[in-house]
Structure 1
Amino acid sequence: MGCLLTIGRIFLIVTNIIFLLIGLVLLIVGLIAKFGESLFKSYYESIITSLEDSLSSAGYGDVNLDFSLSELAGSLPIALIISGLIIIIITVVAVIGAIKKAKCLLLIYSIVMFVIIAAQVLTMGMFYWKPEMITTPVKDSLNSTIQSDFAGLNGTNVVSIGWNFVNQKFQCCGIDNYYDFSEATNWVTDLPSGTLVTPLSCCKTLPSSGDLSCAQSPLSTSTNNYNTGCFDEIWGLALGNVAITASVISVCLVMQIIFFLVALCMYSDNSQNKVKPKG
């Protein structure tokens, strides 16, 4: 038992040091996303320039799209920063508790790991058996912002620029399809050249002249992504292959259970072997 506990202690220390590094990476990425806008410009600048050129060619005049990726990301950078800090704190507690055999820290770590395991099992169940519990509220929120704020290719607010960017970057159109834009109150669809059925950013290639037929009826899948939803595209990229993702999550869950059991055994062993004062 003592040998197994020693191996478990070493495993707990080494793996938590690795997770500590991961936490640091998340923290750094979050800080860069929040405060290092210039580092990301090379990633999206060409698409923004293309949008501005297309607007100019379509007769909207010179438009300067003041795009900010950190503004578009919203609370994501803050979430990364908070997640990174939480991981760092938890792993530091684990490493110090395991090295020093600190009973209090080991107990705190055991409780935290139990809560995390329970939350992860619940989240996995929602993702793979009831994904609509997560996707439906997100879609409803996105749809609400489209209806109230989307203003088309020449829109300069973050929602308009964000959707134009996403439509072009992922070659898609709206949350599920182009119908998501049909009730956008700020989107001007009646133009001198005709009526737009989809945003111009849903065209596979942005118009370089006054010819806007790619976004007008009749629509063609060869020129427009009107039936390709952005949500599924991004969801697929985020989760990837379900079998691979499920396997990775399962491995992480097993490791967390091992962490919990090792910390609990160390706590019990530490308390049982504590030298009592002679009285």
Structure 2
Amino acid sequence: MGCGSTFGKIFLVIVNTLFTILGLALLIIGAIVKFKKDLVTEYAAELFKVIKLDAADYNLDELLGSSAIVFIIVGVVILIVGVLGCFGACCGWRVFLVIYAIIVFLVLIGEIAGVILAALMKSDVDKVVKTGMKKSIAEHYKGDTSQEPISLAWNSILIEFKCCGVDNYMDFKNATNWNKTINGQQTPLSCCKAISGEFPNIKYPDNTDCATNPQDSDSYYMKGCYSAIEDFINKYSNIFIGIGVVLVIFEILCIVFAICVCRSVEEGEKMV
């Protein structure tokens, strides 16, 4: 019983039992959303009322259907990994442990490769992300009062990150679906500084000069959201790095303990 196989078994059983429960919960939630849409739609509509949004402006069936598929797929994957690790460890099933270790190893390699590629191709990544963000404004942004999901998302970003557009307010010049509620409007009201309340329950300023003739004193019109989001990530980079390191160590432990338990089972079989 070498390399901490007893502790390894306990570790794998506890961790993967939690994974199994999580995967099963996500699968059940996804199934309920998928096959009990009437029930979920009723609760979703009530939730929209609480946060003062109009459910009539949303295709709830499409929104819930997409969410359900994501929950089901993620739930199934986590459930399979959890079952393989849990039963492989507690029952000494080497095949399960080998498959489990391979899956976790592939996930680990994928994460490391993703980080390396993102670092090496940062300029390309920036370009792709910026292009996508600008396209979403150009094709889907409908204004400050719109309750369409993409418009809401953009207004939330503008307010929370105190910014305007991807690079600056000029990105809104290409917003073909923007319903301007003010004559001569240059920026969304969400770019103004004098906004009170918390999104989505916010109050725009009565003086709309900040949107028609924006100045540094009353608007974030020259501050791009892409750089603002980058600044936010950099500000908390140590936390993100710490979480990443803990996750990598955790995955390595899962692989090492799976190998240890597998070897222990093999040695036990040889002794019989």
The question of a shared fold, defined as TM-score above 0.5 by the shorter chain, is answered with yes
Find the counterpart in structure 2 of residue 96 from structure 1.
Answer: 87
Q: 1:151 to 1:252 in 2, by over 3 A?
A: closer
Q: Secondary structure at the match of 1:182?
A: helix
1:265 aligns with one of 251, 260, 263 = 260
Alignment of 1:216 with 2:193, yes or no, is: no
Alignment of 1:37 with 2:44, yes or no, is: yes
Find the counterpart in structure 2 of residue 148 from structure 1.
Answer: 139
Q: Secondary structure at the match of 2:250?
A: helix
Q: Equivalent residues in 2 for 1:199-278 (5 A)?
A: 199-204=188-193, 205=195, 206-207=203-204, 209=206, 211-217=207-213, 219-233=214-228, 241-274=236-269
Identical columns (%): 30
Task: Give yes or no for contact 2:5–2:264 (8 Å, CA) kept in 1.
Answer: no
Number of matched pairs: 257
CA deviation string 1:167-189 (max 9, x = no partner):
33544322333222121123355
Task: Give yes or no for contact 1:126–1:133 (8 Å, CA) kept in 2.
Answer: no
Find the counterpart in structure 1 of residue 14 from structure 2.
Answer: 14
Deviation at 1:203, TM superposition (A): 1.9
One-letter code aligned to 1:120: E
Q: Equivalent residues in 2 for 1:4-153 (5 A)?
A: 4-23=4-23, 35=40, 37-38=44-45, 40-41=47-48, 44-45=51-52, 66=57, 78-128=69-119, 130-153=121-144
Distance 2:231 2:65 in 1: 21
Deviation at 1:37, TM superposition (A): 2.6
TM-score by length of 1: 0.72
TM-score by length of 2: 0.73
Task: Give yes or no for contact 2:141–2:178 (8 Å, CA) kept in 1.
Answer: yes
Deviation at 1:215, TM superposition (A): 0.5
Q: 1:68 to 1:163 in 2, by over 3 A?
A: farther
Point out where structure 1 has 5 or more consecutive residues left out of the alignment. Answer: 50-63
Task: Give yes or no for contact 1:98–1:106 (8 Å, CA) kept in 2.
Answer: yes
Point out where structure 2 has 5 or more consecutive residues left out of the alignment. Answer: 35-39, 196-202
Find the counterpart in structure 1 of residue 37 from structure 2.
Answer: none
Deviation at 1:70, TM superposition (A): 9.3
Distance 1:123 1:33 in 2: 32
Distance 1:225 1:40 in 2: 31
Deviation at 1:102, TM superposition (A): 0.8
Task: Give yes or no for contact 1:29–1:80 (8 Å, CA) kept in 2.
Answer: yes
Deviation at 1:155, TM superposition (A): 4.4
Task: Give yes or no for contact 1:171–1:225 (8 Å, CA) kept in 2.
Answer: yes
Deviation at 1:94, TM superposition (A): 0.3
Find the counterpart in structure 2 of residue 57 from structure 1.
Answer: none
Q: Equivalent residues in 2 for 1:120-199 (5 A)?
A: 120-128=111-119, 130-155=121-146, 157-187=148-178, 194-199=183-188
One-letter code aligned to 2:249: V
Q: 1:21 to 1:246 in 2, by over 3 A?
A: farther
Task: Give yes or no for contact 2:19–2:81 (8 Å, CA) kept in 1.
Answer: no
